Amino acid sequence: MASYLVLLGPPGAGKGTQAKRLAANTGLAHISSGDIFRQHLKESTELGKKARVYIDRGELVPDDVTIAMIRERLSRPDCKAGAILDGFPRTTDQAAGLDDILGDLGGRVDRVLFVAVPDDELIRRLSGRLVCRAQGHIYQRDFNPPQEPGVCDVDGSELYQRDDDKEETVRHRIQVYRQQTAPLIEYYRQRSLLTEIEGGQPVEQVTADMLAAIGKGS
């Protein structure tokens, strides 16, 4: 049966970094709603045009648009064995939408990994975050710099700062997270699906804790 994991946590908690590592370890597809939106922005699709105003302001893209996008993505063949959801769901309506989608696909949410990191640490991490243009590999200017400044170690593409990682937008995104996404912690705790992971630890330890939480620890 397919296995679906949700990574929940504030912007800057390390969800993207960890989702990539978990995907490499488990063979599950990595589905990042933020990455899909950024791809649409880059290609100026209709969806990208709709989403841009919200993303630029650090607000959430409306639920109906986001849920439809994720439904389409999870229906593709590379998600047959399941997926690691990074950045979705972000509202309780999206969580209900996800239950519907997975019900139709014959699955369910198997585990929600809540990555907890204090606010001051989030701002510090996000304001120095760099992302690679080609594949979204993630670096941090101070704690995890690339070998050569401005160049991705993995694919050699240019590193850039996301527009929505500027400090003012970061603060707003954290506020939006507190108001709209944090209620999902209780939502999933009540369903006995939540495991809290200490996100302030070294990257390798966070991955090890996540693998242990999904029964794939060494």
Is 173 an active-site residue? yes
Provide, rounded to whole angstroms, the least separation between the CB of residue 196 and ligand AMP.
Answer: 20
Annotated catalytic residue within 20, 21, 125, 129: 129
Q: Is 129 assigned a catalytic role?
A: yes
Residue 144 DSSP one-character state = B
Instruction: Judge whether 138 and 16 are in contact, CB under 8 Å.
Output: yes
Cβ atoms of 123 and 167 within 8 Å: the answer is: yes
> What three-state secondary structure class fits 185?
helix
Does 38 participate in catalysis according to the annotation? no
Q: How far is the CB of 195 from ligand AMP (least distance, A)?
A: 20
Binding site for ligand AMP (CB under 6 A): 11, 33-34, 37, 54-55, 58-61, 66, 87-88, 90, 94, 164, 173
Write out the two tokens for 64.
Answer: 């109906």
Please state whether 59 falls in left (phi above 0), alpha (psi between -120 and 50) or beta.
beta
Residue placing its CB nearer to ligand AMP in the complex, 164 or 209: 164
- Name the residue nearer to ligand AMP (CB basis): 12 or 82: 12
162 is catalytic: yes
Burial 11-50 (b: 16+ CB within 10 A, else e): bbbbbbbbbbbbbeebebbbbbbbbbbbebbeeeeebbee
CB of 172 to ligand AMP, least distance (A): 9
The residue sitting closest to ligand AMP, measured at its beta carbon, is 34
- Which of 15, 38, 73, 125 is catalytic? The answer is 15
Nearer to ligand AMP, 82 or 87 (CB): 87
CB of 52 to ligand AMP, least distance (A): 9
Beta carbons of 122 and 10 less than 8 angstroms apart: yes
Cβ-based nearer residue to ligand AMP, 163 or 186: 163
Terminus-to-terminus CA distance in the chain, angstroms?
22
User: C-beta of 218: minimal distance to ligand AMP in Å?
Assistant: 29
Catalytic residue among 20, 73, 90, 125: 90
Q: Measuring CA to CA, how many Å separate 39 from each of 11, 67, 90, 134, 184?
A: 19, 17, 19, 10, 26
CB nearer to ligand AMP: pick between 193 and 208? 193
Active site residues: 15, 90, 129, 162, 173
